Structure 1
Amino acid sequence: MADIPLVFTVILVYFSQMQGSSAVTPVFVLKGDDVMLNLTEADDLENSAVFWNFTDKSSNEESVLVKWRPGTEPEVSPGYRGRIEFPVNRCCVNLKNLQETDSGVYTGHVMGAVGLISSTEYKVTVQDPVSPVKLTVDSVSNSSDSCNLTVTCSTQDSHISSTFTCDAKTCSQEGGERSEVTTSGASLRVYLVNDSITCNHSNQVSWTKNVTNIQDFCPCCADHSVNVAVSVSISFLFLIITAAAGFCYLLWRRKQKTESTEDAVYAVPEMEALAQPLDPTSDSSSPPSAIYSLLEPHTGPTRPTEETEIVYSTI
């Protein structure tokens, strides 16, 4: 950084101390990734000077990254050449391929003719991806109506254990979810979701997990989610079958009524007395006999013609 004047560094340190009470935005970056830092106030930047400096997280030493005066190209500190891009004129900087040593506070200053206009601070933390996690079943105790399961959730440098109890209705975790912070600052958790035990290892930029199904070790315990789905399906199917059967019965009844109307048969009495003249010598106390016969479907009376002689008699 010999090509950046010492007085310029002193000025930036002074303005950084003036802005020490401003809010700092936390940013977490996966090791090897890039990060974009924007100025919160970007008005009239063409006529203002823009400076970015960096305060190392471990040593608390401050250094200058970029200075950008009006009408000139940005001047980048030698240690950051090739690692800083300017995708939008003066408004932001893109830091590339960050490593753990790049963790710290990045401050952007906007300077006008009368002095400092604004400052923007970011606390950048570069993290490694978390290591794989392993879920181990330590012991299983089965009975006819319950099951106890003890597991261990472990990483390279940390581990936690937990016990789960299941019966025919539900499963529970003794003491609830277990968690702790590992030596690397990540979070290690073991918890129960439905019938699955999950071991999770995570930080702000990455995570890994390992899952074990309780059914694999506790056959006494039904898969409640599957049972509920099956019960709902059976109930729905029963309703459909019932509705279909009722509809078919109604159609059958309607068809039966229609056929009964079409096949109606009428019995018409045939009076022998109408076929013979009355005998005045006969015993009037003996009524004439009536003969009934089964006829074909009735088609209605035949209309008499003019030549037909209508005979009325008293029976």
Structure 2
Amino acid sequence: MEFGHFLVFFMTALISSTVSASEDHVFVQTGGSVKLVIKNKIPPHFTRFTWINDKSENVVRNQSGEFKPHSSYKDRMDFNAKTYSLTLRNMQKTDSGLYRAITRDKQELCHAEYNISVIDPVDSPVLKGNFTMISVNVCVVNVSCSGPDQTISHSYHSNDCTQEEVTSSGVQTLALYCRKNRVVCNYSNPVSWKNQTIEINQLCTPYEKEHPEENNSSFPLFLWLSVIAGVFVLVFTAVSVFCCSYKKRKRVYLS
């Protein structure tokens, strides 16, 4: 029993000597900035404070009471000596990794821990569509929404554009949906987003222009022109015959 109490005491002491802040995953756009703040209270006395990354580089550390930055961060960092917060600028993909704020004295304590991922903004997605006429004024539009390494697709009716959303999972996310007769293809990641849109009616319009006889219930224009031309010819002919007949009768009467 005494051994059990001793074991519990030993484990408690061991855990307390390696106190660690919970890790936060932070996404930063390439070329952007990030501010790392202290989560756990800094003790009033310690022999050394360090912001360190998983490459074992001391991003900033105190030496003889003076805080000094690592050479690779010297011109792109700000350190607050009162709050111990660290701001990193112009972040590059090589800066991705784990960053920890540590004090050392009789024991080592972790006061903040950040897992930083530096990623590029997304490219514009590619939205493609084709249609199938199912009646005179209604078509079905089949659309595909593509990123560099994934594609999602769906079909929408031109007279029934729903807001149903189709999505893909992962850090890079594709989303495809239709709203107010407009299909939207959205491509995003934790630091950026871009989209492409297309009007459903614009996809159906080319068909209507090529086949107006199937989409226009009114009398065709060329037939109207033919009727008007025929009427004009008949009227002109009738007037000509009448004039000739009148002249002949006039001559007979005068003679």
| TM-score normalized by the length of structure 2 | 0.64
Partner of 1:146: 138
Which of 104, 120, 125 is 1:133 aligned to?
125
Partner of 2:53: 54
Distance 1:67 1:106, change over 3 A: same
Cα distance in 1 between the residues matched to 2:178 and 2:19: 47
Which of 179, 183, 187 is 1:201 aligned to?
187
Percent identity between the two aligned chains: 26
* Residues 84 and 93, structure 1, Cα contact 8 Å, conserved in 2: yes
Q: Which amino acid aligns with 2:198?
A: T
Helix, strand or coil: the match of 1:65? strand
By how many angstroms is 1:159 displaced?
2.6
Partner of 1:120: 112
* Residues 133 and 140, structure 2, Cα contact 8 Å, conserved in 1: yes
Q: Which has the higher contact order (CA 8 A, sep 6+)?
A: 2
Helix, strand or coil: the match of 1:101? helix
Cα distance in 1 between the residues matched to 2:134 and 2:45: 75
* Residues 45 and 90, structure 1, Cα contact 8 Å, conserved in 2: no
Partner of 1:95: 88
Partner of 1:266: none
Helix, strand or coil: the match of 1:62? coil
By how many angstroms is 1:218 displaced?
4.8
Which of 57, 63, 73 is 2:57 aligned to?
63
By how many angstroms is 1:74 displaced?
0.8
Q: Which amino acid aligns with 2:193?
A: W
Q: Which amino acid aligns with 2:157?
A: T
Helix, strand or coil: the match of 1:215? helix
Which of 187, 191, 200 is 1:214 aligned to?
200
Helix, strand or coil: the match of 2:66? coil
Cα distance in 2 between the residues matched to 1:140 and 1:99: 47
Matched, 1:109 2:97: no
Distance 1:165 1:88, change over 3 A: farther
Partner of 1:281: none
Helix, strand or coil: the match of 2:94? helix
RMSD: 2.9
Once the two structures are overlaid, the 10-residue window that deviates more, 73-82 or 23-32, is 73-82
Once the two structures are overlaid, the 10-residue window that deviates more, 46-55 or 77-86, is 46-55
Q: Which amino acid aligns with 2:72?
A: G
**Aligned positions, number:** 190
Partner of 2:34: 35
* Residues 28 and 119, structure 2, Cα contact 8 Å, conserved in 1: yes
Partner deviation per Cα, 1:240-293 (whole Å, 9 max, x = no partner): xxxxxxxxxxxxxxxxxxxxxxxxxxxxxxxxxxxxxxxxxxxxxxxxxxxxxx
Cα distance in 1 between the residues matched to 2:44 and 2:191: 33
By how many angstroms is 1:117 displaced?
4.6
Distance 1:95 1:19, change over 3 A: same
Partner deviation per Cα, 1:130-168 (whole Å, 9 max, x = no partner): 01112122234241363200112123443322211243x
Cα distance in 2 between the residues matched to 1:52 and 1:45: 17
Partner deviation per Cα, 1:88-118 (whole Å, 9 max, x = no partner): 535211111111111111000134x543354
Distance 1:120 1:43, change over 3 A: closer
* Residues 50 and 110, structure 1, Cα contact 8 Å, conserved in 2: yes
Structure 1 segments of 4 or more deviating over 6 A? none
* Residues 121 and 191, structure 2, Cα contact 8 Å, conserved in 1: yes
Cα distance in 2 between the residues matched to 1:206 and 1:130: 6
Cα distance in 1 between the residues matched to 2:133 and 2:56: 60
What runs of 5+ residues in structure 1 fail to find an aligned partner?
1-14, 56-60, 220-315
By how many angstroms is 1:44 displaced?
5.5
